Amino acid sequence: MAYTTSDEQLQIEEVKQWWKENGKVIILAVILAIAGVFGWRYWQSYQLNKIHQSSANFSQILATAQTNPTADNPQLTQFIQENPNNTYATFLLLDKAKSLVDAKQWEQAATALNQALANTKDVALASLISLRLASVQTQLKQFDKALSTLNKVSEQAWQGRKSMLMGEIYVAMGKKDDAKKAFETALATANPLEAQWLQVQLNNL
């Protein structure tokens, strides 16, 4: 069958009609796709700049804190308030807590560690913070609180230290049987130096 001018005109009309019905949708889809690409690139650039800025602020605040570790630091407080879930904020709180522990300011150290624990969503970091917080609570003679905090230590790498601290807490509470069990649990994974210390504790029970 021969292809005629009428067929061609009919196809052109069909194309025009199709474009009339669907052209706006196609144009909108193309615009949205282009906007999406540029929007995603802008978002990536924004996040990268934010990370660089956080890193720079972290370095500056840490240097200030190390100059006078136990003094109030408005920059540190502001940074933590503005970046509650930022890992840098958690590290700054840990550094602050360490300085406060060195100065034997146990209450303030506990406050900093509680804030760091509330900020982090990282399981390994949460276990480390919980271990340090329990140690500070032990110094404050908050033994029940310390044992409760130790229940948050879930990382396998910290189980030995967890059991050692539990043993110390039970000794302070006068619970010798519980202390013995905790020390024996810790002994199973202890290094030689820890094993010596644990054996002394067990001999003294």
4-14 pLDDT tens trace: 455 555 555 65
Over residues 138-157, the pLDDT tens digits come to: 999 999 999 999 999 998 88
Residue 159 amino acid letter = Q
Residue 176 has pLDDT above 80, yes or no: yes
The predicted structure's pLDDT at residue 79: 64
pLDDT at 54 over 60: no
Q: Is the pLDDT of residue 168 over 80?
A: yes
Residue 104 zone, left/alpha/beta (φ > 0; ψ -120 to 50; rest): left
What was the pLDDT predicted at 151? 93
Mean predicted lDDT score pLDDT of the chain: 75
Q: According to the model, what pLDDT value does residue 103 have?
A: 86
Q: Which is it for the CA torsion 140, 143, 149, 150, positive or negative?
A: positive
| Contact (CB, 8 A) for 70 and 100 | yes
- Alpha helix stretches (DSSP H) within 83-175: 87-102, 106-119, 123-139, 143-150, 159-173
Q: How confident is the model at residue 125 (pLDDT cuts 50, 70, 90)?
A: confident
Q: What's the pLDDT tens digit per position in 76-122?
A: 666 666 666 667 778 778 888 888 888 899 999 999 899 889 888 88
Quote the pLDDT of residue 100. Answer: 85
Pick from 38-47, 90-99, 171-180: least confident = 38-47
The answer to which of 64-68, 74-78, 193-197 has the lowest mean pLDDT is: 64-68
